[in-house]
């Protein structure tokens, strides 16, 4: 095995551990400002530093979280004692990673569709991120859903970008997380979501193959198969689980190292219950875990509210959600535990 493959495999082994998932703490400036606004916190660099230090410094977080996706700003920030935040994560046994895409813009000649940008200079940026401690990366593509969306152009163009990104990462010795998010905004049915998700994942893996990406040395971060938030008939937990596993089985090669679901607008409780039900469904070839942002961060953010006196309570709220999702990743979640501390 080459040194490069050994490096990638070591990161995969550190990330893919039974009962552990990823903490997504890579919100862009506008996104974290919106999150902070819900609890009356101004989005200053210092407040963002304090918040991410609170998250990464939660004692015992590494028992349930194997990796953290960081925003570029966070790589250079320090905890109160002067320790760099990526080093703080490593000390907890948590692998630091980095969001590398530059956000989405409208896709030209495809009304209603979007494309993710950020490939220019990616190889050089990855070198710098590695020096700062990042061992894996993440790139998100989004797909709006309606009777006509996403267009074939959007499906193909985003797949090409995801595959190009993944190939560049592996060449740099950085494990790529490939994130094709089928959005739950809208009034589409769960059947329409399944149809779109299947088309998206088929195209993504065709593109990954064309670009020579080693599937055993990458991770997939898909959305679950859910009806639109405004659809008249919301699906049961078991319907979501069976639809999600069916689509993955039809599209995701068995060699893929792991599937880490995004929470995508679900409540913390919904995201945990769905993950648990997915893991209770029959035979499947990949580990199925979580890579949650809001579904892990919302309870501790509400507890913290920017007050240093609330740090302990906020960390307990984070650890509770991490513990419950760790159980769900094993198919051992008990909804009664939601009421416990």
Residue 313 and residue 118: Cα distance in Å, rounded? 38
Tell me the pLDDT band of 20, cut-offs 50, 70 and 90: very high
266-276 exposure pattern, b = at least 16 Cβ within 10 A, e = fewer: bebebbbbbbb
Give the C-alpha separation, 291 to 69, whole Å: 9
pTM (two decimals): 0.97
Each residue of 216-241: pLDDT tens digit? 999 999 999 999 999 999 999 999 99
Domain residue extents for the chain = 3-329
Q: What is the pLDDT of residues 70-94, one digit of tens each?
A: 999 999 999 999 999 999 999 999 9
| Exposed/middle/buried for residue 311 (C-beta within 10 Å: 0-12, 13-18, 19+) | middle
Q: Does domain 3-329 fall into CATH 3.20.20.70?
A: yes
Q: Active-site residues: which are they? A: 179, 221
């Amino acid at each position: 095995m080459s040194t490069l493959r050994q490096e990638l495999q070591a990161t995969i082994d550190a990330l893919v551990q039974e009962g552990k998932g990823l903490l997504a703490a890579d919100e862009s400036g506008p996104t974290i400002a919106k999150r902070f606004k819900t609890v009356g916190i101004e989005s200053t660099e210092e407040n963002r530093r304090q918040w991410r230090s609170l998250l990464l410094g939660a004692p015992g977080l590494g028992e349930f979280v194997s990796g953290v996706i960081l925003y570029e700003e966070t790589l250079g920030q320090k905890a109160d004692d002067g320790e760099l935040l990526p080093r703080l994560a490593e000390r907890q046994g948590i692998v630091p990673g980095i969001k590398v895409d530059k956000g989405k813009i409208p896709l030209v000649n495809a009304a209603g569709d979007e494309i993710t940008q950020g490939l220019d200079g990616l190889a050089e940026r990855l070198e710098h991120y590695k020096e700062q401690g990042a061992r894996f990366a993440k790139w998100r593509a989004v797909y709006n859903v309606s009777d006509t969306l996403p267009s074939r152009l959007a499906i193909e163009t985003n797949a090409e970008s995801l595959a190009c990104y993944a190939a560049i990462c592996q060449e740099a010795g950085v494990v790529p997380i490939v994130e094709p998010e089928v959005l739950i905004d809208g009034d589409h049915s769960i059947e329409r979501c399944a149809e779109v998700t299947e088309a998206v994942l088929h195209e993504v893996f065709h593109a990954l193959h064309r670009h020579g990406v080693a599937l055993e040395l990458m991770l997939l971060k898909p959305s679950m198969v859910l009806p639109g938030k405004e659809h008249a008939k919301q699906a049961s937990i078991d319907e979501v689980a069976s639809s999600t596993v069916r689509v993955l089985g039809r599209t995701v090669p068995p060699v893929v190292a792991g599937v880490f679901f995004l929470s995508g607008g679900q409540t913390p409780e919904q995201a945990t219950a769905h993950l648990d039900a997915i893991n209770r469904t029959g035979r499947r070839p990949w580990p199925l875990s979580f890579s949650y942002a809001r579904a892990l961060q919302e309870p501790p953010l509400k507890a913290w509210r920017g007050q240093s006196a609330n740090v302990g309570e906020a960390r307990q709220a984070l650890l509770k959600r991490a513990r419950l999702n760790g159980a769900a990743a094993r198919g051992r979640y008990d909804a009664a535990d939601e009421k416990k501390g």
